[in-house]
Structure 1
């Protein structure tokens, strides 16, 4: 019986002058490892999800009301106000974060102390309390007098939007200052020394050399902070600003469908956070170029890889 008939593959046929005979080899059979624990975990998780879905299906919930109110004009207006206050507050927090991070790292003891005091106060007090303080500022300051630039009644200036913007933006600025400071300190000091040797000023070095490299460290936590801001914006209902939660709560109180409107608000919060999470992923992926050997896989690439793993042909 030949080697081929025995299930073996013959090696290259040696010449007649070869001093030794090359023996044939047997084909390797790869046997995949069975992960039974994964199947058990999947069954348990699916059973729990099925039980949760059954429990909600048996509850006294008017699901038709949820679908009808999902695109209600008042609800959509609340969604827009949520996006607006979140974006504006995050922009304010970014500007203040960069400013106070640079002040914190400054060798000037006055600016460093002021930055530390700002971060200490706004990180150490709840954002809910800060919102109430701004909204009730007229109780201690009846007039905002910035003569000769501006003068007006505090009640006219401190509208619900302004109170919400100051409460969220100043609080976010304290957290962003620490994030930006960590990003700046992650850049090697030799970069700054080299730029100064080329004649760049401190501001040029920060703008052109340090901050672009620090963005790889700053972007991921900043994206998380913005997503958290979307949810924290629900607190501004306490200052009478009609965002998503307040809009749905008003409809729920008028129609007695309180829980159904909370479900509507939850659906929209999930949609918003999901959309911005996708944007955060691609932004992180863009700034990861040059610092990683291979970029993180996109969700579609992961799905394709998982499908190819499931459909992997058996090795004979």
Structure 2
């Protein structure tokens, strides 16, 4: 049995596919920026916070790193509205798919970014932090002006790798009917009866984007590697 490929549906569906890609890139950008921000706070709390606060931050990180991301998405889309309705008595409260996806990605990704940032801070020699404190800087100033700039430079490849993983994870929003790139491709394929072509095309696009990220990581690693003579 042979299959006759017809790629014309891709050409006709470009506006819809671009709209889906816009949603995917929006989710990646928001989750990355907020995830790195909250992850940095969590990493600092784990390293420099009081013991009780550090334990709470560690518990948060371990919890979200242990829970499947798709389950977190389901919680915010289905469970959170039920809880809020029960508390407020508002039977019409709902969390839209966009807000549910953003909340789930930010909370989950901040746990992963936290571990990367914590390792990045640990890669900076302790003597530099101590020297900054000896010069009269506060702990916050030493972290902000001395430690974190070097840490982020050291961990940039790992941050890019995690963002590439985030790009792939955004495809999970298809289960809550959010029209991301994969969701748009699936709907067009189902509409036109060309699922094979659309899923192959979606795979090629994800492969190209992830390959660009991987190339960026390799380039940064080569630039950061010590020269050998």
- Tell me the TM-score normalised to structure 1 length: 0.66
Corresponding residue of 2:33: 91
Distance 1:246 1:183, change over 3 A: same
Q: What are the superposed Cα offsets for residues 55-75 of structure 1, whole Å, 9 maximum, x if unpaired?
A: xxx951414336535x61111
- Is the contact between residue 144 and residue 154 of structure 1 (CA under 8 Å) also seen in structure 2? no
Comparing 180-189 and 267-276, the one that deviates more: 267-276
Q: SS at 1:142's partner residue? A: helix
Q: What are the superposed Cα offsets for residues 163-183 of structure 1, whole Å, 9 maximum, x if unpaired?
A: 111111211110111111111
Residues 1-316 of structure 1 correspond to what in structure 2 (within 5 A)?
59-65=2-8, 68=11, 72-136=14-78, 137-142=80-85, 154-155=93-94, 158-284=95-221, 288=224, 292-293=226-227
Corresponding residue of 1:148: none
Q: SS at 2:7's partner residue? A: helix
Q: Which has the higher contact order (CA 8 A, sep 6+)?
A: 2
- Is the contact between residue 24 and residue 181 of structure 2 (CA under 8 Å) also seen in structure 1? yes
Query: Which structure 2 residue ranges, 5 or more long, are not aligned?
Result: none
Q: What are the superposed Cα offsets for residues 95-137 of structure 1, whole Å, 9 maximum, x if unpaired?
A: 1110100001124022102201110110111000000000011
Distance 1:87 1:59, change over 3 A: farther
Aligned length: 226
Q: SS at 1:141's partner residue? A: helix
- Tell me the TM-score normalised to structure 2 length: 0.89
Q: What is the Cα deviation at residue 283 of structure 1?
A: 4.6
Q: Provide the C-alpha distance between the structure 2 equivalents of 1:256 and 1:97, rounded to a whole number of angstroms.
A: 43
Comparing 261-270 and 271-280, the one that deviates more: 271-280
More helix by share: 2
Q: SS at 1:60's partner residue? A: coil
Query: Which structure 1 residue ranges, 5 or more long, are not aligned?
Result: 1-57, 146-150, 295-316
- Is the contact between residue 131 and residue 163 of structure 1 (CA under 8 Å) also seen in structure 2? yes
Q: Provide the C-alpha distance between the structure 1 equivalents of 2:211 and 2:173, rounded to a whole number of angstroms.
A: 22
Q: Provide the C-alpha distance between the structure 2 equivalents of 1:243 and 1:233, rounded to a whole number of angstroms.
A: 8
